[in-house]
Amino acid sequence: MNNKDPIVLIGSPPSPYTRKMIALLRFKQIPYKVIWGDPVQLLTSGDLANLNIDPPKPSLLPTFILENESNELSAFTDSTPLIRRFEKEYPSRNCIPINPVLSFLNYVLEDFADEWVTKYMFHYRWHFDEDIDNAGTLLPLNQVVNLDSKSLSSFKEHIAQRQIGRLGVVGSSDVTAAAIERSYERFLNLLEEHFSQFPFLLGNRPASCDFALYGQLSQLVGFDPTSRKIAHKVSPRTVAWTNIMEDLSGLEVSDEDWIDEDSELRSNGKEDFEYLSLEPPYRASNSLLSDVSEAALFLDAESFRVLRPYLVSIPSPSSLLNVNTHSL
């Protein structure tokens, strides 16, 4: 295999990590071939059985067929390390920033999208009847479009029951539902603000964190009806961004396109654009928080209400939590 051979991956359209990786390959202009389907079936009895490759353990979407260290074809999963591998093998149009601060932020945001935004995705898909019906129907049809109606209804029932049974594993329950939904809306509001300044998370070019977020939003905005309605209401810019992220093969990029240090969010601070989103808008004071009400910037309304009695903005013997020194 050399860099001219297309990369082969097995995936599925309703899989956020599949969408993450296809969008990334397109941006990097890496030739690829997608095989829609189930890796275990394809590698053991289907079209790829002649390759004699063991299916990955655990079997995850997407599965890539790549050379291992002994130059033999093998099955690989896990998007984040695979992106780092592709960055080495295809260095142009890099999506890991060179600047170490940005690179760190990129890692954190990629992880946030992969591990937290996916909770919104799984929750909205399997918590509400309309969404269960939608996903239950489309997941089997995405494997076999011309599936007969009888098999469709039995697959639909089987998949829905299996996935609903997994809600607890990702932390979604009747107790946590409201917190997950509040977090989704809060995040959409932040994105709406951010996308009014920059077209991508780290400036004027996409990083791996954009592709991770796109993967999840391809579902939240493009597949699951309840989360789609919320996104359209709360953040039209996020909806537009999600559409654009799908194919950035024609975007011209340069090293100047990364966000500059003056506009970076600092880990313990809020930048102007977040304060400007408040009513009335104001600019960052570049000093410590002067009033506990400013902690509302970091917290949703319910958490702020609960924590408010325990907060002070300047250290004092009676303070339980100092908003200037605790990360919230």
Ligand X SMILES: N[C@@H](CCC(=O)N[C@@H](CS)C(=O)NCC(=O)O)C(=O)O
Site residues, ligand X (CB under 6 A)? 15-17, 60-61, 77-80, 114
8: enclosing H helix or E strand: strand 7-11
Q: How far is the CB of 224 from ligand X (least distance, A)?
A: 13
Q: How far is the CB of 64 from ligand X (least distance, A)?
A: 10
b/e burial code for range 56-93 (CB count within 10 A of at least 16 → b): beeebbbbbbbeeeeeeebbbbebeebbeebbeebeeb
Cα-Cα-Cα-Cα torsion 144, 146, 128, 11, nearest 10 degrees, comes to 20
Q: How far is the CB of 27 from ligand X (least distance, A)?
A: 17
User: Rounded CA gap, 214 and 21, in Å?
Assistant: 10
Q: How far is the CB of 220 from ligand X (least distance, A)?
A: 13
Which residue's CB is nearer to ligand X, number 108 or number 301? 108
Preceding amide of 206 cis, omega within 30: no
Which residue's CB is nearer to ligand X, number 218 or number 295? 218
Which residue's CB is nearer to ligand X, number 17 or number 187? 17
Q: How far is the CB of 134 from ligand X (least distance, A)?
A: 16
How distant is the alpha carbon of residue 105 from its chain centre?
Answer: 14
Which residue's CB is nearer to ligand X, number 81 or number 91? 81
Distances 139 to 84, 129, 227 between C-alpha atoms, Å: 30, 15, 17
Which residue's CB is nearer to ligand X, number 194 or number 228? 228
